Amino acid sequence: MKSLIIGLGNPILGDDGVGWRVAEAVRGLQPSLEVECLSLGGLSLMERLVGYDRAIIVDAMHTGHGRTGTVTTFPLSELPDRSAGHTTAVHDVSLPTALSLGRQMGAQLPEEITIVGIEAERVYDFSEELSTAVQEAIPVAVTAVLQEIEKWIHGLDR
């Protein structure tokens, strides 16, 4: 099965760059995996997912419901706030809507998309530095991604 790991975010907006940092760490540990760092959600993200059977998307999320640095893993279908993270944008549609449109147009898109979200607070600060709590969450998020990959390898369901 063709798989893709995506780190979403903007590396010059403080904690918003954590998705890239996690993706780069996963790439360093598993160089055979297809890993990419992207900044756009919605339709652009959907287009990048064409041709894949499954994907993991790693992104900073500001839900206001968790402690900064908390790592949460869940299927895209359970995204608690469809405007959280980069799966959507003000002038775009949410990723679930984009996926639905893509499928209606005949695009081969992943049926299995897992989100690894890192609760963040400083996502609009112009800085390449992560807050301490988000920096400390990187190894936890990397472990979460690797555990999802292990499930794929061994055919384990959630």
In the predicted model, is pLDDT for residue 90 greater than 80?
no
Q: Please state, for a pLDDT cut of 70, what percent of the chain lies above it.
A: 90
Taking the model in full, what pTM does it have?
A: 0.89
CA-CA distance, 73 to 67, in Å (whole number)?
Answer: 15
Pick the CATH number of 3-154 from 3.30.360.10, 3.30.70.100, 3.40.50.1450, 2.30.130.10: 3.40.50.1450
Segments making up each domain of the chain, as ranges: 3-154
Q: How confident is the model at residue 8 (pLDDT cuts 50, 70, 90)?
A: very high
CA-CA distance, 52 to 86, in Å (whole number)?
Answer: 19
| Alpha helix segments (H runs only) across 13-59 | 18-29, 42-49
Q: What pLDDT sits at residue 158?
A: 47
Q: What pLDDT sits at residue 54?
A: 95
What does the pLDDT look like over 129-139, one tens digit per residue? 999 999 999 99
Q: What pLDDT sits at residue 71?
A: 97
What does the pLDDT look like over 59-88, one tens digit per residue? 999 887 889 999 999 999 887 655 545 455
CA distances from 44 to 21, 40, 48, 93 (A): 21, 6, 6, 10
Q: What pLDDT sits at residue 64?
A: 77
